[in-house]
Chain A
Amino acid sequence: MIEVVDLGKKYGEVWALRPTRLRVEDGEFFSLLGPSGCGKTTLLRMLAGLETPTRGEIRHRGVRIDPVASHHRPFNLVFQRYALFPHLDVRGNVAFGLESQRIEAREVARRVEEALQLVQLQGFEARAIHTLSGGQQQRVALARALVNRPAVLLLDEPLSALDLRLRRQMQLELRALQKRLGLIFLFVTHDQEEAMALSDRIAVMDHGEIIQTGKPEDVYRRPRSLRVAEFLGELNRVDGQVVGVDSHSGWLRVRTASGWELRACARQGREPGSYAPGERVAVVVRPECLRPVSGSADAGNVLEAAVEERTFLGATSQLRLRFAGAGAPWLVDLRQGEASDRWEFEPGHAVALELEEPRG
């Protein structure tokens, strides 16, 4: 278990990381997610001991380790561009950490072999680094960190230099590896899909602070703020006023300016009962939660709009819709075969939209 208490880092007058509290449990795959400059890498580097905190503490299993020098911490880091030593071969790179601890040569050889097996690079021991592909270098970097049997593996956007296909594959392998080893993996990324696919829990960061922590599903479905919602994927936003609370399901009834009535769930961290009738709120609708239906509106959660554009995306198609009156266009995802190639969805046609029941 690692615990970060009131940890902050200031460069000059600017907080790169505002004083932050965070707790990661043993065996967790935990991601720090946020745009560049949000402080996620600063937090990771302080954990690795490569930056000195301006204030606060880092505890590992209850013991303070922030005063411990980097080379004495049981944490190992996988660098963004791998930082493999170009003058050493694969074996030299993987053995570097063990040799720093003056471990006996036979033991080093055994563990290097074991680590290379773990990342499926047996037989690459004598290869020079520059002869390896990006994916192979990535594996060497992993082996080099894991061979030291760290308590925590820190990963700084390790997949960002790989192409999409390879990245998907490495994501699966990373997840499998973490499950198998049962270590804490602390993963930094700016790719929300990657974070959601891999993690047990996510901390979303922005402007030097954590703005929400939770399981991927929770953070995606019940964001704490518009900022979190915006960062985690495409969304449609509509402003309205609370009409009332459905006491049975806990859903809010919201009426928009144009007179629609929607049902929505309260944001994370707020009780439905705390919304007063008449309060102004923003409702967020994910593109995949909308279903177009032909015919006219009759039920509650049905909206009418005109198709502006249809974009073919492979597995799905996306419609851009414009409502009568004003407002930003809305996006709707259509699964292929569902109805995506029907003539009703050609630009210019009118469609009725059905909102899926809110989840969460």
Chain B
Amino acid sequence: MAETDDRVPALRRLPAQLAWPAGFWLLAVLAVPLGWVVVTSFMARGTYGGVVAAWNLGNYARVVDGLYLKVLGHSLWLSTLTTMSCLVLGYPLAYWLATAGARLKPWLVMAVVLPFWTNFVIRAYAIKVSLGLAPAAWELQNSPLAVWIGMVSTYLPFLVLPCWVALERLDWSLLEAARDLGASGRRVLLQVLLPLTRRGWVAGMIFVATPALGEFVIPDVLGGARTLLIGNLVADQFLMTRDWPFGSALSVLLLAAATLGFWLERRLESSRSAQGSGGAKPRTPLRARLLAVPALLLLLGPLGVLVGQSFVGPGGLTWDWYRAALGNEAVLESLLRSLRVGLGSALLASVLGTAAALALVRSRFLGRPALEATAGISLLMPDIVLGLSLLAWFSSLGVRLGEATIVAGHATLSLPYVILGVRARFQEFDWSLEEAAADLGASRRRIFGKVVLPLLMPAVLAGALMAFTLSFDDFLVAFFTAGPGVDTFPMKIYSMVRFGVSREINALSSLLLVSTLVLALGLNRGLKLTRNLR
């Protein structure tokens, strides 16, 4: 029986106050800044770049101007192309993941998750390095192909993961039934497999399409900044042209797209068909494996090339680049800063998020739907919208930008992941365990401390790790909230990449890659432990 909102028995009820810290946080560091952006979008630009409270709709009128309409078109095209490519390339990989044997599966999971956890600046840079190996006559550098590879390999995991979850929950005997009734492989795919996993791939498409709409750093780095996209336009309005009202109007469009995505995803969730997992999984057909190869190549190929290149010097193999990288103090300083920011924001997000998740599942309070919606929308919102709204909000309040503002921004970025992750785990929590504890004489405090919290811990830790990774991976939010001279590691690499390819970056990136791999392996072991717990 699922937890129903309207009847939480006394034994399981938790105080609604638990949601307050996260609620206040999301209000102060997300909702109000976004509201400020919406307000600004109706104002006018002052003579010296400030904002004047002359209410008008001019900013929106400019959006539908011919020139900007074209920019909008470019962004839509890029988002659509990326989404469709991810679907075609990613679904076979998700299928392989779901049907792979116990020995192969962890490695496949790693193949999807490792790039997901690798800093995207590093990933983009790896693609650049890989394409650089091709003959110059092919003109792969700064080509649309480079942009396509960058976009697809960046967003692929967002599609593969939900599809994989849906496939794991599939009742495979339905496929056998279809086969038994004489359906061809094509019919099984189109009339059974895809409809039954619709929730997975539609959610995946939303997860790809919405943030991809605001993407501009990948096209910049890999495409040589040749096409103007909404993302660039927004960034320019805030950083160069200093036309904040117009930039705000554009951001409102991106925010609206995220809200639309959230709404669609919500509807998908409520239309969930009752379906139990079960049945024997088939061996992965050769065809599916072959279809999954391009996705794996896109995900892992550039990273492999990057590691290989880090050992190549002018006179053969060398450690020189590693020595140089570890001797670069500015880089090390930024690395330390990123670690600090990552730990700080992860701690903040996991404490606030866990408390909020507890309250969301086990108590009713005013503003609960608002909290859920805010978390859901911000998950889909392009990072640039969060970054610039914080910039606008902090500077209008006169807050000095620095490490603290990055931590605040990153905590906001990862809070929804913690909330939704812990909430999902808590929702499938077996009530009878709490009843058993009460029956055995445990007080409510003891039930919470000895039964509920220990069993939720894996989800809390997973949320904290996710928060750390998001922070460590983030470029955009830090870029807007860092202030002058305060570089995080991705920002540092970004600027080094812009100044030309340096072999030091190869070495540094490889080091990071290996540490991510070790971390991921450790986590995999941890997750297996928790699977046994259930």
Residues on A lying within 8 angstroms of B by beta carbon are 48-50, 52, 69-72, 75-77, 79-81, 83-87, 96-97, 100-101, 128, 130, 144-145, 148
Contact = CB atoms under 8 A, between A and B. Distances in A.
Interface string B439-466: 1111100100011001100000000000
B8 interface: no
A144 B446 CA distance: 17
Contacts of A83: 430, 432-433, 435-436
A96 B442 contact: yes
Nearest to B440: A97
B193 interface: no
B432 A96 contact: no
B270 interface: no
A130 B455 CA distance: 14
B437 interface: yes
A79 B532 contact: no
A296 B433 CA distance: 64
Contacts of B437: 85, 96, 100
B449 to A, nearest CB: 11
- Interface residues of chain B: helix, strand, loop or mixed (majority): helix
Contacts of A81: 432
Given A83-B430, A130-B532, A130-B533, A71 B435 contact: no
A242 to B, nearest CB: 49
Interface string B1-21: 000000000110000000000
B439 A71 contact: yes
Given A50-B439, A130-B533, 16 more contacts: A50-B435, A50-B438, A72-B441, A77-B439, A79-B436, A81-B432, A83-B433, A83-B436, A85-B436, A86-B533, A86-B534, A96-B440, A96-B450, A97-B440, A100-B443, A148-B441
Contacts of B451: 85, 87
A298 B440 CA distance: 66
Contacts of A70: 11, 435, 438-439
A100 B441 contact: yes
Interface string B408-452: 000000000000000000000010110111111111001000110
Which range holds the interface residue count of chain B? 20 to 34
Interface in B519-533: 532-533
Given A76-B439, A130-B532, A87 B432 contact: no
B442 A100 contact: yes
B440 A48 contact: no
B11 A50 contact: yes
Contacts of B432: 79-81, 83
A48 B440 CA distance: 10
Q: Could you say which of B436, B439, B532 has the most chain A C-beta atoms within 10 Å of its C-beta?
A: B439
A83 B451 CA distance: 11
A101 B430 CA distance: 24
A87 to B, nearest CB: 5
Interface in B1-44: 10-11
Contacts of A71: 438-443
A54 to B, nearest CB: 14
B436 A87 contact: no
19 contacts: A49-B439, A69-B438, A70-B439, A71-B438, A71-B442, A79-B435, A80-B432, A83-B430, A84-B436, A85-B451, A86-B455, A86-B534, A87-B533, A97-B440, A100-B442, A100-B443, A100-B446, A130-B533, A148-B440
Contact of A101 (B435, B441, B450, B532): B441
Q: Could you say which of B11, B440, B451 has the most chain A C-beta atoms within 10 Å of its C-beta?
A: B440
B437 to A, nearest CB: 7
Contacts of A80: 432
Given A77-B439, A96-B440, A96-B442, A85 B433 contact: yes
Q: Could you say which of B430, B436, B443, B446 has the most chain A C-beta atoms within 10 Å of its C-beta?
A: B436
Contact of B455 (A49, A50, A72, A87): A87
A22 B446 CA distance: 34
Nearest to B447: A71
A330 to B, nearest CB: 39
A50 B433 CA distance: 12
B328 to A, nearest CB: 45
A217 to B, nearest CB: 33
Contacts of B442: 71, 96-97, 100
Contacts of A145: 439-440
A159 B33 CA distance: 58
A84 B454 CA distance: 14
A86 B455 CA distance: 8
A166 B529 CA distance: 30
Q: Could you say which of A75, A76, A96, A145 has the most chain B C-beta atoms within 10 Å of its C-beta?
A: A96
Given A86-B533, A86-B534, A87-B533, A76 B11 contact: no
Nearest to B439: A77
Contact of A144 (B11, B440, B455, B534): B440
Interface string B278-305: 0000000000000000000000000000
Contacts of A130: 532-533
Closest 8 CB pairs of A and B: A97-B440, A83-B432, A100-B441, A83-B436, A100-B442, A70-B438, A71-B441, A77-B439
Contacts of B446: 100
A80 B435 CA distance: 12
Nearest to B534: A86
A148 B443 CA distance: 15
A83 B436 CA distance: 6
Contacts of B435: 48, 50, 70, 77, 79, 83
A100 B441 CA distance: 6
Contacts of B443: 71, 100
Contacts of B532: 128, 130
Contacts of B533: 86-87, 130
B438 to A, nearest CB: 4
Nearest to A130: B532
Nearest to B437: A96
Nearest to B441: A100
B83 to A, nearest CB: 39
A208 B496 CA distance: 75
A81 B433 CA distance: 10
Contacts of B534: 86
